Structure 1
């Protein structure tokens, strides 16, 4: 049986199903609450500006970025970028997502330790992600065990990155909801709706972590099977 049809792909099936479910969950939840308008009629951009300023982040500009749910805070240039739906939207979902990204900006300002660690290992993770598969497959094809092991070690950096990302994302959502409540941007059921959107988004990071761990287990299993 060819290598790429290896039975170890079975390790990935649960992770793939969880990933598909998480993507469906975040899309459907965002779509649902994007139809629920906040009672104050504040757009995502206005909410973000309000929360940034209230935390002394006057210097952080807000830009529009293309794509759906492509919203992010860029710590390298200290810019908050929101997708058009979130930037202009007055829905509970738009405000929740915008506030979440402000949460990351607050983390950056306060040197939140998991975020500092994650940002510091990004170069190593990018390198590891690019080289891990090349080294692993080269080691398998050429029967060079050290290359296989090095590929696994490099991929482990990706797993570590995904694990560290979890507290970063959960904390950003917690900060977002706290700030929304403190500034009176959303009320009661609106706030609970925003929480559901952020909880659904968090599932995608959990799914990505499970997938990365499953891939690592698979690589180790392949390596061990080649030794037998």
Structure 2
């Protein structure tokens, strides 16, 4: 007979939101990838321009494979843009490039939530790998110390996801202000870029909700044998 874990129901709303967010970011990016910017700048050109204007001329802009794999690496101080964004001159490409520049500016200005997030990355990497191992081992062995340790480690993952939210929202806010104030995008173009970045932000909200739901599920599972 198959065993059904009823606590999985706790995850369903968050998983639905996560699936919707992934669809939304993909469809919105694809839509505004077809809107060529009036100035014709590519994502790489915008990133280079904004970095230089922010005193970050030492940060290289590299192209990487994949779709929506764009990120700023604070440890190596490198911006990496996907091919669509690097070479693209669409509203979507420029919005994403500016967003990643926002992260570089955060790093330079020691934006507190970013510093916190970067500081706990090693802990989170460890926690995400070992929290479930400890939790399951504790359930099998009936050792509550291991169960509690697993929950505590997973809590670090939740904290990381929550701290990520202001980091991402702030980067988008910086990007939109810069794009508008410097005349890189105009009117409807700015609104289009905002929709792309808002859709991307929802994926981080969904990730936070999923991690919170998972933590609640672990706590419920841990109390079954009480």
Q: TM-score range by the shorter chain?
A: over 0.9
Aligned to 1:91: 90
User: Aligned equivalents of 1:52 and 1:175: distance in 2?
Assistant: 13
* Alpha-carbon offset, residue 182 of structure 1: 2.1
* Alpha-carbon offset, residue 225 of structure 1: 1.1
Aligned to 1:136: 135
- Residue 90 of structure 1 aligns to a residue in which SS? coil
Q: Which runs of 4+ in 1 moved over 3 A?
A: none
User: Aligned equivalents of 1:99 and 1:138: distance in 2?
Assistant: 45
Cα deviation digits, residues 124-179 of structure 1 (max 9, x gap):
01011111000000000110011000000000000000000000000000000111
User: Aligned equivalents of 2:85 and 2:135: distance in 1?
Assistant: 41
TM-score norm. by structure 1 comes to 0.98
* Alpha-carbon offset, residue 2 of structure 1: 6.5
* Alpha-carbon offset, residue 183 of structure 1: 1.7
Aligned to 2:43: 44
- Residue 52 of structure 1 aligns to a residue in which SS? helix
User: Aligned equivalents of 1:22 and 1:225: distance in 2?
Assistant: 32
Corresponding position: 1:223 with 2:213: no
- The alignment covers a number of residue pairs equal to 226
User: Aligned equivalents of 2:134 and 2:44: distance in 1?
Assistant: 44
Corresponding position: 1:111 with 2:110: yes
User: Aligned equivalents of 2:2 and 2:188: distance in 1?
Assistant: 54
Matches within 5 A, 1:149-160: 149-160=148-159
User: Aligned equivalents of 1:2 and 1:139: distance in 2?
Assistant: 23
Aligned to 1:172: 171
* Alpha-carbon offset, residue 66 of structure 1: 1.0
- Residue 37 of structure 2 aligns to a residue in which SS? coil
Corresponding position: 1:24 with 2:23: yes
* Alpha-carbon offset, residue 83 of structure 1: 0.2
User: Aligned equivalents of 2:111 and 2:180: distance in 1?
Assistant: 21
Aligned to 2:192: 193
Aligned to 2:11: 12
User: Aligned equivalents of 2:225 and 2:80: distance in 1?
Assistant: 46
Aligned to 2:207: 208
Which ranges in structure 1 are unaligned for 5 or more consecutive residues?
none
